[in-house]
C-alpha cells in the first residue's frame, strides 16, 4: 500500500465568505476598538490575565495541533501562533486593530482551530488555549464577523431551537415515521413521545431527523430490545446541539440549554441520554449549563458511549455474533478529553468487535477530526481547507489501516463528517460507522 496522497488546494487562502466579508465592510476601527474593550472588560478577568501572563511562548503546544502538523510545522498554525496572531495582538494594542486584522482573526478562530483542547495537555502550564480562541470567536460574533454557514446555523438555533431549521411538526412526524419503519422489523416497537415520568429522555442533534433518520431507527431498536423506559419530546428542546457555543453567541446558547434541560424537567425523567455527538455533550455538560449558572447539568446527562457500556455490561443487549471486520476507534475530543470515556468506549468496542486495532496516538492524546468546534459548520467554502488541515489524521488512519483496520468507528457526528471527507479525499478506502450502526447490526433482536 502506498502512502496517502497529499493533495493540497491552493484555493484555501482565497476563500470568499460573505458572512465575514460583509461583516467586515460594516466595521470601522473605532467600532472594533469599542466592542473589543467592552467585551474584554465585561466578560473576561483573572482567567484570561493568568493565561496570557503565564505563557512563556515555549511553543510546546505546537506538536499537539493537527493543523500545525498537517501544514509542515508552519508556526502560523501552532496554537501559540494562532493566539499570537489574535488575542495577544488585540490585548497588546488595547483593541486598536483594523478590519484586515479582524478578518484574519475570524478566519483563524473559526476555521483553523477546532477548540479540541489537545494543546492544553501539552502546555507545561495547562493553559486552555481553546478558551483564548473562544474569546476571539466571542469578539468576532460581537463584531458581526462570522462565517456565513456557521451564522446561518446559529440563526436556525435562535428561530427554531434546533440547528437545521426543523419545524415542530417535522420533528414529531420524523419520530412517527421511524417508529413505523422499525415496526416492520419489530412489530411492537415504540418510540414513546411525550411520556411523562419515563426514566430517560433520549436526545439527538437535528441532523438526525434531517439527514440521518436511520440513527433514530437504530436507537429505537436498541432501546426497545434492551427494555429501556425512554421518551422523546414533541416540543422544541429535543435538540441537544449548539453551534451558538462555537459562534460565540452565548445568549442563544443559554436559551438552547435552558430549553433542553427544562424539557427534561417537564417530562420528569431521571436523566438525559444523548446520541453519538461530541460537541453537544460539551454544551450540555460543561459550557451551556454553566453559562446559565448550573454548576453541573441539572438533570444528569449520559453520552451514548457510556450508555452502550451500561447496556452491554448489564447484559441488557446481547451480541448475536461479533462484528468480524477489523476496526479502529476515533476518540472524540469532547467525550474523551472532556469526559474521560475512552476506557468505556474500548469496553464497548471489545464487546462488539472481533478485532480492535488502536490508532496512534489514542485516547486523550488522539488527534481531533478537524470537523468539530464548529469548523465543519463553516460549510463548503472551507471544506478543502479543513481536509488539508488534517493530513495528520489521514496518516494516522492509514497507519491503522496498514495494521489491518478496515473500519473506523467514530461515536460523534462531527468526527463522522470530518473523517468521511478525509477518508474520501485521501483515498483511504475505509468504512466509517457509529457504534450504534454496529450494535444494531449484530445485536440479538426478537425474531
Partner 1 sequence: MHNIGTWDWETGKRLIADTGKWKDMFDWVEEPYVSPDGERIVAVVKTGEMEYSVCENDTPWESTFDKVWYLRFGPDNRLTALVSSTGAWTVAVDGAAWENTFDFVWNTKFGADGKNITVAAQKDMEYFAVTNDIPWETRFSALSNLTISHDGKRVAGVAPTVKIKQGDIFIFQEGCYSAVVDGKPWDVNFVNVWDLAFSHDGEHVAAEVRTSLYDYTIAVDGVLWDKIYTSVWMPQFSPSNGSVTAPVRIAGKWTLAQDGKLFWDRSFAQLWHHMYSPDGKKIAAVVAPKYGRWTIAVNGIPWSLTFGDLVTDAVFSPDGNRVACIGKEGGKWTIAVDGKAWGEKYDMVWQPVFSPDSKKVAAKAEKNGRYTIVIDGKPIKESYEALWNPVFSPDSEKILIKGIEGNPDGGKYFRQVLPLTDVTG
Q: Which residues bind partner 1 (CB under 8 A)?
A: 19, 22, 42-43, 141-142, 144, 148-149, 151-152, 155-156, 158-160, 165, 167-169, 172-173, 176, 188, 190, 192-195, 197, 234-236, 249, 251, 254-255, 258, 261-262, 265, 268, 270, 292-296, 298-300
Q: Which residue, 255 or 413, is less far from partner 1 as judged by CB?
A: 255
Q: Which residue, 64 or 143, is less far from partner 1 as judged by CB?
A: 143
> Nearest distance from residue 9's CB to partner 1, in Å?
23
> Nearest distance from residue 158's CB to partner 1, in Å?
5
Angle of the 342-352 helix axis to the 304-313 helix axis, nearest 10: 50
Q: Which residue, 166 or 422, is less far from partner 1 as judged by CB?
A: 166
> Nearest distance from residue 59's CB to partner 1, in Å?
34
Nearest CA to 203 out of 274, 260, 262 is that of 274
Q: Which residue, 254 or 436, is less far from partner 1 as judged by CB?
A: 254
d(CA 194, CA 230): 10
Q: Which residue, 248 or 389, is less far from partner 1 as judged by CB?
A: 248
> Nearest distance from residue 268's CB to partner 1, in Å?
6
> Do residues 49 and 87 lie in contact, with contact meaning Cβ atoms separated by under 8 Å?
no
Classified as helix, coil or strand, 28 is coil
Q: Which residue, 261 or 308, is less far from partner 1 as judged by CB?
A: 261
> Do residues 277 and 240 lie in contact, with contact meaning Cβ atoms separated by under 8 Å?
yes
> Do residues 257 and 185 lie in contact, with contact meaning Cβ atoms separated by under 8 Å?
no
d(CA 279, CA 243): 8
d(CA 397, CA 358): 10
> Nearest distance from residue 46's CB to partner 1, in Å?
15
Q: Which residue, 29 or 236, is less far from partner 1 as judged by CB?
A: 236
> Nearest distance from residue 307's CB to partner 1, in Å?
18
Q: Which residue, 23 or 278, is less far from partner 1 as judged by CB?
A: 23
DSSP notation for 374-425:
TTGGG-GGGHHHHHHTTHHHHHHHHHHHHTT--EEE--SHHHHHHHHHHHHH
The sign of the torsion formed by the CA atoms of 133, 115, 9, 148 equals negative
> Nearest distance from residue 151's CB to partner 1, in Å?
5
Is-cis flag, bond preceding 361, omega within 30? yes
Element (DSSP H or E) covering residue 46: helix 46-54
Element (DSSP H or E) covering residue 431: strand 431-433
Q: What grid cell was written down for 215?
A: 440513527
> Do residues 221 and 182 lie in contact, with contact meaning Cβ atoms separated by under 8 Å?
yes
Q: Which residue, 32 or 400, is less far from partner 1 as judged by CB?
A: 32
> Nearest distance from residue 304's CB to partner 1, in Å?
21
Q: What grid cell was written down for 209?
A: 431527523
> Nearest distance from residue 152's CB to partner 1, in Å?
5
Please give the backbone phi and psi of residue 162, each rounded to the nearest 5 degrees, phi first. -140, 165
Amino acid at each position: 500500500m502506498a502512502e496517502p496522497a497529499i493533495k493540497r488546494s491552493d484555493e484555501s487562502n482565497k476563500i470568499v465568505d460573505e458572512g465575514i466579508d460583509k461583516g467586515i465592510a460594516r466595521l470601522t476601527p473605532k467600532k472594533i476598538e469599542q466592542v473589543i474593550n467592552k467585551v474584554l472588560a465585561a466578560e473576561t478577568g483573572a482567567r484570561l490575565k493568568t493565561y496570557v501572563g503565564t505563557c512563556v511562548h515555549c511553543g510546546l503546544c505546537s506538536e499537539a495541533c493537527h493543523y500545525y502538523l498537517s501544514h509542515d510545522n508552519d508556526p502560523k498554525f501552532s496554537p501559540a501562533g494562532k493566539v499570537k496572531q489574535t488575542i495577544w495582538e488585540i490585548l497588546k494594542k488595547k483593541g486598536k486593530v483594523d478590519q484586515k486584522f479582524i478578518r484574519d482573526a475570524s478566519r483563524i478562530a473559526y476555521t483553523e482551530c477546532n477548540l479540541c483542547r489537545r494543546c492544553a495537555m501539552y502546555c507545561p502550564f495547562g493553559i486552555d488555549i481553546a478558551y483564548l480562541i473562544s474569546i476571539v470567536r466571542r469578539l468576532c460574533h460581537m463584531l458581526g464577523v462570522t462565517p456565513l454557514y456557521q451564522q446561518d446555523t446559529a440563526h436556525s438555533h435562535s428561530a427554531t431551537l434546533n440547528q437545521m431549521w426543523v419545524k415542530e411538526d417535522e420533528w414529531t412526524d420524523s419520530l412517527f415515521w421511524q417508529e413505523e419503519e422499525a415496526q416492520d422489523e419489530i412489530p411492537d416497537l415504540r418510540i414513546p413521545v411525550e411520556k411523562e415520568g419515563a426514566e430517560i429522555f433520549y436526545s439527538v442533534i437535528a441532523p438526525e431527523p434531517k439527514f440521518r433518520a436511520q440513527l433514530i431507527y437504530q436507537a429505537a431498536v436498541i432501546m426497545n430490545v434492551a427494555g429501556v423506559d425512554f421518551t422523546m419530546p414533541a416540543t422544541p428542546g429535543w435538540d441537544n446541539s449548539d453551534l451558538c457555543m462555537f459562534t460565540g453567541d452565548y445568549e442563544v446558547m443559554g436559551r438552547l440549554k435552558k430549553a433542553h434541560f427544562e424539557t427534561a424537567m417537564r417530562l420528569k425523567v431521571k436523566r438525559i441520554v444523548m446520541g453519538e455527538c461530541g460537541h453537544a455533550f460539551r454544551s450540555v455538560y460543561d459550557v451551556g449549563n454553566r453559562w446559565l449558572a448550573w454548576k453541573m447539568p441539572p438533570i444528569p446527562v449520559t453520552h451514548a458511549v457510556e450508555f452502550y457500556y451500561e447496556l452491554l455490561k448489564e447484559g441488557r443487549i446481547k451480541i448475536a455474533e461479533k462484528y468480524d471486520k477489523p476496526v479502529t476507534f476515533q476518540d472524540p475530543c469532547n467525550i474523551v478529553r472532556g469526559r474521560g470515556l475512552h476506557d468505556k468506549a474500548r469496553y464497548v468496542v471489545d464487546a462488539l468487535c472481533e478485532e480492535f486495532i488502536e490508532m496512534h496516538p489514542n485516547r486523550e492524546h488522539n488527534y481531533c477530526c478537524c470537523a468539530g468546534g464548529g469548523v465543519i459548520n463553516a460549510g463548503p467554502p472551507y471544506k478543502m481547507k479543513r481536509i488539508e488541515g488534517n493530513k495528520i489524521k489521514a496518516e494516522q488512519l492509514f497507519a491503522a489501516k496498514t495494521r489491518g483496520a478496515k473500519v473506523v468507528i467514530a461515536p460523534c457526528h462531527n468526527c463522522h463528517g470530518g473523517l468521511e471527507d478525509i477518508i474520501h479525499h485521501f483515498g483511504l478506502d475505509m468504512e466509517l460507522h457509529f457504534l450504534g450502526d454496529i450494535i444494531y447490526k449484530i445485536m440479538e433482536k426478537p425474531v
